Amino acid sequence: MPETKIRWDIFCTVVDNFGDIGVTWRLARQLVAEHHCEVRLWVDDLRAFERLCPELDVRREQQWQQGVDVRQWPAQWIATPAADVVIAAFACQLPSAYMEAMASRENTPLWLNLDYLSAEDWVIGCHGLPSVKYQHVQKYFFFPGFRAGTGGLLREGNLLERRQQFQQDPQARRQFLHSLGIVQAPDAQLISLFAYENAGLASWFDTLASGATPTHVLVPEGRILGDVQTWLGVQGLEAGDLHVQQRLTVQVLPFVRQDQYDLLLWSCDFNAVRGEDSFVRAQWAGRPLLWHIYQQEDDVHLDKLEAFLALYTRGLSAEAKEATNGLWRAWNAGQDMSGPWLESRKHHQELAEHAEAWCLEQALQADLAAALVQFYLNWI
Ligand code: TRH
């Protein structure tokens, strides 16, 4: 590690939802906390950021949060010297004056595009390749991923130890759930549900409501609430609301701060997640999961879904594999969830063991922050 701190500028435009800021905020904190870097995080929408980090003051142009120098990305760029490493998250366009500053810097900065996560094969071939140039400043692709030859996944140094400790401590779990107003019946299975709008929800809830085991579903405020309301036949659902229908309890949670969301995932028996960051965090939770992938034009997201399924289901029995494929495909097509859910429940034990094994296997890879630092050290 060089003696002087590596300086980073991470640029994030919030396209929609929380994934862009979710990933960059996590990365920025880890670079500071574990790699002693100086990080400026430029964000164009502090309101989205505030949902993940409630201490944020959305009126401030500059503020420190957990050691990260958080900047409001101004519409009118103010001349700023470029950092040693410049990350354009998810192909966002840097201010042209900043690119000038990169080009005029005595030591040319390393310029990276941090891409979206995909399990597709081509990622390995593209990770680390040169992209465009601005004058003499070369940009490189940096791809997160699940396999050797990619940039890995975001994972804080002690994450798995913290998770395992928490999961082995029923008191800590109870206290956490209590702090969110959750009282789980002793025999109820706990499910968290973070998803986009989904026409398959009603059939899933029907099945849970008429199921043999009581189920308690926790729904953080967000896009799926409309479907939940329709199923319950109510309006104006908000955090704190709790409804019971037959064997199903549905409870609306506030959108919690990012580190608390981990505890929620760790506390549940099954997690429905979406997008990118919650999807990765559910894998680190070591519990069975269901992924609602972010929909893209021409259904290209379905290739990503299949690529992940092919990787994730390796090592499962043929029946459990088929059940997982069926469940994930039904959910992502907004189809009837009844049969696929019941089928996947038959393999719950195997899927639970597999989720832990997958998590441990993924943790053998270098994490994304460490891989970025290494990429820079190799490059200079
Ligand atoms: O919000 P998302 O749907 O984000 C998406 C995806 O990243 C997608 O790939 C991208 O193209 C699109 O945004 C623009 O899902 P994701 O990625 O899981 O991000 C949610 C973040 O919100 C994640 O960091 C976890 C966090 N979160 C909380 O902090 N508290 C909560 O209560 C919940 C439910 C989530």
**Consecutive sets of 10 residues in the chain, 380 residues long: mean pLDDT of each?**
84 94 98 98 96 97 98 95 97 95 96 97 96 96 97 98 98 97 95 98 98 97 97 96 98 96 98 98 98 94 97 98 98 98 98 98 97 96
Q: Are residues 71 and 144 in the same domain?
A: yes
- CATH number, domain with residue 285: 3.40.50.2000
Residue 298 lies in a domain: yes
- CATH number, domain with residue 133: 3.40.50
Q: Are residues 235 and 342 in the same domain?
A: yes
Residue 278 lies in a domain: yes
Nearest CA to ligand 1 atom 13: 19
Q: For residue 4, report the distance from its CA to the centre of ligand 1, in Å.
A: 34
Return the pLDDT at 27: 98
Q: Are residues 342 and 212 in the same domain?
A: yes
Ligand 1 binding pocket includes 50 (Cβ within 6 Å):
no
Residue 216 lies in a domain: yes
Nearest CA to ligand 1 atom 1: 18
Residue 258 lies in a domain: yes
Residue keyed to tokens 């503020």: 63
Q: For residue 294, report the distance from its CA to the centre of ligand 1, in Å.
A: 10
Q: Are residues 69 and 197 in the same domain?
A: no
User: Which residues have a catalytic role annotated?
Assistant: 20, 276
Nearest CA to ligand 1 atom 30: 256
Burial class (CB in 10 A: 0-12, 13-18, 19+), 175: exposed
Q: Are residues 201 and 286 in the same domain?
A: yes
Nearest CA to ligand 1 atom 33: 255
Whether 309 contacts 324, CB under 8 Å: yes
Q: Out of 17, 50, 257, give the residue to mutate to test ligand 1, the one with the largest number of ligand atoms within 8 Å of its CB.
A: 17
Give the integer Cα–Cα distance in Å for 83 and 31.
14
CA distances from 103 to 79, 80, 83, 353, 358 (A): 13, 13, 11, 51, 43
Q: Are residues 146 and 135 in the same domain?
A: yes
Q: Are residues 346 and 214 in the same domain?
A: yes
Q: For residue 48, report the distance from its CA to the centre of ligand 1, in Å.
A: 10
Q: Are residues 187 and 325 in the same domain?
A: yes
Give the integer Cα–Cα distance in Å for 349 and 133.
51
Return the pLDDT at 2: 52
Whole-prediction pTM value?
A: 0.97
Q: Out of 12, 14, 18, give the residue to mutate to test ligand 1, the one with the largest number of ligand atoms within 8 Å of its CB.
A: 18
Ligand 1 binding pocket includes 134 (Cβ within 6 Å):
no
Ligand 1 binding pocket includes 291 (Cβ within 6 Å):
no
Q: Out of 276, 304, 305, give the residue to mutate to test ligand 1, the one with the largest number of ligand atoms within 8 Å of its CB.
A: 276
Structure tokens, 270? 């099954």
Residue 369 lies in a domain: yes
DSSP string, 267-321: H-SEEEEETTHHHHHHHHTTS-EEEEPPP-GGGHHHHHHHHHHHHHTTTS-HHHH
- Helix or strand holding residue 248 (H, E): strand 248-253
Q: Are residues 59 and 111 in the same domain?
A: yes
Residue 313 lies in a domain: yes
Residue 2 lies in a domain: no
Ligand 1 binding pocket includes 25 (Cβ within 6 Å):
no
The domain total for the chain is 2
Ligand 1 binding pocket includes 277 (Cβ within 6 Å):
yes
Residue 1 lies in a domain: no
With a CB cutoff of 8 Å and minimum separation 6, the contacts of 306 are none
Which residue range(s) make up the domain with 321?
159-362
Return the pLDDT at 236: 94
Q: Are residues 97 and 137 in the same domain?
A: yes
Q: Are residues 141 and 163 in the same domain?
A: no
Q: For residue 41, report the distance from its CA to the centre of ligand 1, in Å.
A: 18
Task: DSSP letter for 366, please.
Answer: P
Q: Are residues 312 and 332 in the same domain?
A: yes
